[in-house]
Amino acid sequence: MTIKSSQTLVSEALKEIKTISSDEAHSMANENQCNLIDIRDVRELQKEGQVEGANHIPRGMLEFWLDPGSVYFKDGKLDMNKEMVLFCAGGLRSALAAKSLKDMGFKKVSHIDGGFNSLKNSKFKII
């Protein structure tokens, strides 16, 4: 049995999804064109801080919270017509998550290159 490595899965996802810079994400957020979604674990938020205005959806719940047919759907939490812009700590989990949302049928989805690490050194306010 051969299994794909996590590195392979991320590489494949990156070929299929849209990757944007922290500056592009900042412009989109400022113009109210996207849902900025932090998929890091709650412990990461407590330890590192969080981006002001970002929605927190833990990686393990993302597909369930964004599926209108799921009992876990967070109705009204996000504007389902806007682009879903995901980030994690470094950009690996968000690449896989963005591919998963694309596989679900979301047309407007992207992830931020470098994740929270790049957002800390950008125009975003960390709280």
78: alpha, beta or left, given left = phi > 0 and alpha = psi -120 to 50?
A: beta
Distance CA 88, CA 37 (A): 9
User: What pLDDT score does 47 carry?
Assistant: 97
Pairing of strands 109-112, 83-87: parallel
Protein fold of 6-119: Oxidized Rhodanese; domain 1 (3.40.250)
**8 A C-beta contact, residue 76 and residue 93:** no
Q: Is the pLDDT of residue 119 over 90?
A: yes
CB atoms within 10 A of CB 74: 14
Three-class SS of residue 80? coil
Q: Is the pLDDT of residue 1 over 90?
A: no
Cα-trace Rg, the chain: 14
Question: Does this model's pTM top 0.85?
Answer: yes
pLDDT in tens, 2-11: 999 999 999 9
pLDDT in tens, 13-29: 999 999 999 999 999 99
